Chain A
Amino acid sequence: MRVKVLGISGSPHRHGNTETLLDAFLEGAAESGGEVDKVILKNLDYVPCRGCNACHKTGECIVQDAAPPLFDRIFGMDCIAVASPIYSMGITAELKGLIDRTQYIWARKFVIKTLFFSHEHISRHKGIFISTAGLSWDNVFDAAFPAITAFFNTIGFEYHDNIIANEMDHYEGILGHPTALREAREKGQSVVREIERLKSR
């Protein structure tokens, strides 16, 4: 069975630096035989989490929009690549809005305890974080990692790797970056091969 890879683009800006980097990763994944698809969050109809905690009783989200079906789709994937540019030292409101909606999955795991991911399951499901930032600071991605870690932990994916490139302002965009696109492509190729190896065991 082919390795299924889903790219999730959290940028409001179509075909910008972050989405281009995501595309390079997905191209690499496809070159290794992966079945790839991409979701554009800004075209998806979902609202942020209301913080109502109703899911702590039922394990279901009371908001019926495009977010729960997207999580169902994610559960059918072997690899997801979550992409967001850095805005104001964090991920975009679009991606954070989606991540916050995983509360009902978290509640299934930790409040009502109907969901459990084995170590084996987690190690076979790979999560990649893809990001770009205009600033040159080494620490510009640091405040994004904890929410991405929380996201992958909640949905039972291993936080496998980052594909990140800063100094976009200096390079005048991702196409001017010396290594980022090649790195993304190679990582797309290798993660599919690694998942294939794990699945064949």
Chain B
Amino acid sequence: MTIKVLAFAGSPRRGGNSETLLDWVIEGMKEEGGVEVEKVVLTEANVNPCRGCNACEKLNKCVQRDGMDILHDKIIDADCIILAAPIFCMGICSQAKALIDRFQVFRSRKFVLKLPVVPPERRGKRLGIFLSTAGQNWDYVFDAAVPSVKCFFHVIDVRDRDIHYLMINNVDEKGAILNHPTANDDAGKLAHEVISELRKRLEM
């Protein structure tokens, strides 16, 4: 059995700081062995914003036919879900916010229709990772992103205490993260920690 990881690169800038951070984590996970990672680049994934129609509260599915049709089952199947996104204007970039808001279908399933999002035996065995970068050096620059990230994971049955965070500020221009003193090491450590924890929980 392999550990399944689904990784979202939320930035519109390809190969930028948040995607580099994500690539380091993915690399670290692959070194652990027995890990299957799928990386989804959001700007190429055709995920439209939520329309706020609330039809999912009745239908248990979204009325929009787009990239989420493909992602839906992968989100449920993954043992670990990673969201990587930069901070723009003191919040998560709008491409990632669109994905977060489309998780409304899971929220409706869980809280309105009271149906399971993952099978009962998999609850408490899913981990989440939020990776972020910001140009500003303010230490509170990530504060407004975190509540939305908690919603994102909460509705897909990843508990608050099972979300791991690695957020690096003061990296603005493309490639700035390459000069960060600890980011690369921290990403490697995080990958190791999360995969070890998953092995334990999945009794592998």
Which residues of A come within 8 Å of B, CB atoms? 11-13, 16, 48-53, 85, 87-94, 96-97, 99-100, 102-103, 139, 142-147, 149-151, 154
Assign chain B's interface to a size class: 35 or more
- The reply on B91 being an interface residue by CB < 8 A is yes
Q: Is the CB of A52 within 8 A of B148?
A: no
Q: Is the CB of B91 within 8 A of A16?
A: no
Assembled-state Cα–Cα distance A26/B91 (Å):
27
> Which of B92-100, B116-124, B162-170 is found at the contact surface with chain A?
B92-100
Q: Assess A143 versus B49: contact at CB under 8 Å? Given A50-B12, A103-B88.
A: no
Q: Is the CB of A93 within 8 A of B91?
A: no
Main secondary structure of the interface of A (DSSP, over half): loop
Assembled-state Cα–Cα distance A52/B12 (Å):
8
Q: Is the CB of A146 within 8 A of B94?
A: no
- Which residues on the B side are within 8 Å of A91 (C-beta)? 91, 97
Q: Is the CB of A149 within 8 A of B90?
A: yes
- The reply on B52 being an interface residue by CB < 8 A is yes
Q: Taking the nearest CB of chain B, how far is it from the CB of A24, in angstroms?
A: 19
- Which residues on the A side are within 8 Å of B45 (C-beta)? none
Q: Is the CB of A143 within 8 A of B148?
A: yes
Q: Is the CB of A89 within 8 A of B148?
A: yes
Q: Is the CB of A97 within 8 A of B151?
A: no
Q: Which of B49, B89, B92 contacts A92 (CB 8 A)?
A: B49
- Which residues on the A side are within 8 Å of B51 (C-beta)? 12-13
Q: Taking the nearest CB of chain A, how far is it from the CB of B33, in angstroms?
A: 34
4 tightest A-B CB contacts, nearest first:
A89-B147, A146-B90, A97-B94, A93-B98
Q: Which of A53, A85, A146 has the most CB of B within 10 A?
A: A146
Residue of B nearest to A85 (CB): B52
- The reply on B50 being an interface residue by CB < 8 A is yes
> For residues 99 through 118 of chain B, which have their beta carbon under 8 Å from a beta carbon of chain A?
100-101, 103-104
- Which residues on the A side are within 8 Å of B93 (C-beta)? 48-49, 51, 96, 100
- The reply on B16 being an interface residue by CB < 8 A is yes
- The reply on B53 being an interface residue by CB < 8 A is yes
- The reply on B152 being an interface residue by CB < 8 A is yes
Q: Which of B49, B94, B146 contacts A49 (CB 8 A)?
A: B94
Q: Assess A87 versus B12: contact at CB under 8 Å? Given A51-B93, A146-B91.
A: no
